[in-house]
Amino acid sequence: MTAVDDQGLVFAGVARLAQLVRGREVSPRDVVTLYLERIAQLDPVLNAFRVVLDERAMADAAQVERRLAAREVLPLAGVPVAVKDDTDVAGVSSMCGTGIDTGPVSSDSAAVRRLRAAGAVIIGKTHLPEFGAVPMCESPTWGVTRNPWDPSRTTGGSSGGSAAAVAAGMVPGALGTDGGGSVRIPAACCGLVGIKGQRGWISTKQSPERAYRFHGLHHIGALARSVADAALLHDAMAGAEPDDEIPPASPAPPLTDAVSRPPRRLRIAMSFKPVVPVPVSEEVRRPVWETAELLRSLGHEVVERDPLYPPAAILSVFVLMMHGLADEIARLPTPELLEPRIRAEGRTARLVPDRLAHRALAARDRMSERGLRPIADCDVLMTPVLAKPAVPVGHLEGIGPTRAMARVLAFMPFTPPQNYTGQPAMSIPAGVSADGLPGAVHLVGRPHDGSTLVSLAAQLESARPWAHRRPPVASYRTPGSG
């Protein structure tokens, strides 16, 4: 290892790490070796990774060195990235949190292919609950993924493995997926930035033997410690494919350009109204209030204004989620191996007729416009990410699907609407609570306007830095570091 060593390199961040590799201050193979050592030390405690691609990652690092020698421009040169295990990596099974192995897939997903093209090294695949169906990262097959800030608390989900890996410094950045908040929720629980862009900005295309059919609810997003790093990962993955499930209505803007561009004076709607009437705790309200005061001090206008959540739109989200779940289960060779609660949800999902899903899709634009009308004169919506702080692990253990759904809605009633409307949204850190858990704020941009969203988030990070904060587990030192 060279001048930048150990912990400093581990937490250098995506952009800085790529810069060090491009500048020949550290080699891609040394970087990958360091993170593999970090994973070997911490993953037995946190259980973030389903599979670690040791040998392949080292070979890919050597390939990055050759590409740099050939003067290729690589925005993510040598940066190790973790991929959630519902997203295809060639030659590796996509288990989707289940115990059902359908075999290695034949090719990378579009997002992973673009990460590699940018110079990233795919270091492993991370845990999720079965089919990402709940906002906690636990499954009968793979066990509990634990929060680096407090191992007795959930990482959130469903991209909980990716979030734990980034928060603990096992990777500088990760790919997550978000069907109802599954990037933003674990970002909030683990003290990270989580970006879900506009629907279609990042293709959800998988290998030929797999396909997502969640009617555009499913997004691919980025998890990192800073706004700049998350934006860089998002930009590297951005791009449409000719046969995408839902083509983008607008091309993805370069979000990294927005990071260094201060926003104009904005009008920001602050809301504590959840999708369903559940209590919202003071612990999650406080970071939003404090951020509102910071925004006012930065010259922005903050108004209390609620979006509208028509019952028909809420029902449509449920219909599309369940119809997509039924489709996923139907393609499994051995669905009887799923956990009992998911099997029960699958039986309910099969009752959703195709015509009801098609009706929900046909009404999406109209209902989205109606729901956003009360905040149409605002540039950004700000809410809590969750209705309560990270819950203890085992929050859904031993209960049936009806009670589980009630607990899920009581935990995550703010993030699903943006998967229905498709608009960009992100979670950013906002302090640490008295019991040592990270606080968070949910920022939602206008449809197709990710640039304003990222510009504002970067301004907040500059005024209230957070990337230097590390969870207790992150202070562990790598083997041989002295």
Catalytic residues: 84, 158, 182
271, two tokens: 């809301």
Integer Cα distance of 330 and 325 in angstroms: 9
Cα–Cα distance, 231 to 196 (Å, whole number): 10
Q: Is 282 exposed, middle or buried (0-12, 13-18, 19+ CB in 10 A)?
A: exposed
243 burial via Cβ count (<10 Å: 0-12, 13-18, 19+): exposed
Report whether 364 contacts 316 (CB < 8 A). Answer: yes
Q: In this structure, which amino acid lies at residue 25? A: E
Q: Running DSSP on this structure, what letter comes out for residue 225? A: S
What sign for the dihedral angle of Cα 163, 390, 86, 441? Answer: negative
Contact 238, 252 (CB under 8 A): yes
User: For 348, what's the count of Cα atoms within 13 Å in the CB-facing half-sphere?
Assistant: 14
Q: How far does Cα 466 stand from its chain's mean position?
A: 18
DSSP 8-class letter at 446: P
Residue 253: what residue type?
A: P
In three state form, how does the secondary structure of 239-265 look?
ECCCCCCCCCCCCCCCHHHHHCCCCCC
Locate 308 and state its tokens.
């509208």
> Which residue matches tokens 């079965």?
130
On whether the CB atoms of residues 109 and 91 are closer than 8 A, the answer is: no
Give the integer Cα–Cα distance in Å for 344 and 318. Answer: 15
Is-cis flag, bond preceding 158, omega within 30? Answer: yes
| C-alpha to C-alpha distances, 437 to 44, 135, 195, nearest whole angstrom | 22, 17, 20
Residue keyed to tokens 């051995």: 334
CA–CA separation, 450 vs 250, rounded Å?
11
- List b or e across 132-157, with b for residues whose CB sees 16 or more CB atoms inside 10 angstroms: bbbbbbbbbebebbbbbbbbebbbbb
Residue of 120, 132, 178, 153 lying closest to 46 (CA atoms): 153
